[in-house]
Chain A
Amino acid sequence: QVQLVQSGAEVRKPGASVKVSCKASGYTFSTFYMHWVRQAPGQGLEWMGIIHPSGGSTSYAQKFQGRVTMTRDTSTSTVYMELSSLRSEDTAMYYCARDDCINGVCYPSYWGQGTLVTVSS
């Protein structure tokens, strides 16, 4: 079965960077896009971007352009999301979510357990 296991909680100071990992198993890693979505405390979900594990192509939400970098390691079936120049508003739960596709229409379907990133001085 599809499993996405994320790295543990992180605490960073403002201005620092954080790198969150998401290790996939239970399917062919290179086949499906992976999203990153975050949720600030008490707020709704916010899409950050997407990466294709096969070629590494990425597409980022405009809000995060220049601050986010998504990468992957096919040897370990792991995708990474690095967010730089952190500020207090970046305190949130960060999720990876794997696409599922039906007849060429794809959508976030399987979710990791989430990684809490706290930005505090």
Chain B
Amino acid sequence: QSVLTQPPSASGTPGQRVTISCSGSSSNIGSNYVYWYRQFPGTAPKLLIYRNDQRPSGVPDRFSGSKSGTSASLAISGLRSEDEADYCCAAWDDSLSGWVFGGGTKLTVL
């Protein structure tokens, strides 16, 4: 059971905009930054969004992050087949004194 809650799956058609939610609590998302990672099958996670809404160099602006209260969202616009992957949120948890992750959302491009 992951500390951060994500829907197990999401889907969209090419060109569409999809959002993936991440729900936490006051000790993690409510008081700290949120990070998003993308993971293709059989590979390591890769940082997609840091500090709620910042993109590392090389990440296209089709990807955007936002945070409100104890929840966060990742939005992907102009969906492409190559976006099909698992997406996971993360945050520092003050109560646990450690990093917590969501269970991951498998994105399918129909």
> Max chain A CB contacts within 10 Å: which of B44, B45, B96, B97?
B44
- Measured CB to CB, the residues of A under 8 A from B are 35, 37, 43-47, 49, 59, 61-62, 95, 97, 100, 102, 105, 107-114
Which B residues have a C-beta under 8 Å from some C-beta of A? Answer: 2, 33, 35, 37, 43-47, 50-51, 56, 88, 90, 92, 96-104
- 17 A-B pairs with CB atoms under 8 Å apart are A37-B99, A37-B101, A44-B2, A44-B103, A45-B37, A46-B101, A47-B99, A61-B96, A95-B44, A100-B50, A105-B51, A107-B51, A109-B56, A111-B44, A111-B46, A112-B44, A113-B43
CA gap between A29 and B21 in the complex, in Å: 35
**Cβ of B22 to closest chain A Cβ, rounded Å:** 11
Majority secondary structure of chain A interface residues (helix, strand, loop or mixed): strand
B13 nearest CB across to chain A (Å): 26
Q: Closest Cβ of chain B: how far from A43's Cβ, in Å?
A: 7
Note all chain A residues with C-beta closer than 8 A to B101. Answer: 37, 44-47
Q: Say yes or no: B51 contacts A95, CB within 8 Å.
A: no
Known: A47-B98, A108-B99. 16 other contacts (CB 8 A): A45-B45, A45-B88, A45-B104, A47-B100, A59-B98, A61-B96, A61-B98, A100-B47, A102-B50, A105-B33, A107-B50, A109-B50, A110-B47, A111-B44, A111-B46, A114-B44
Contacts of A105 in B (CB 8 A): 33, 51
Contacts of B2 in A (CB 8 A): 44
CB distance from A102 to the nearest CB of B (A): 7
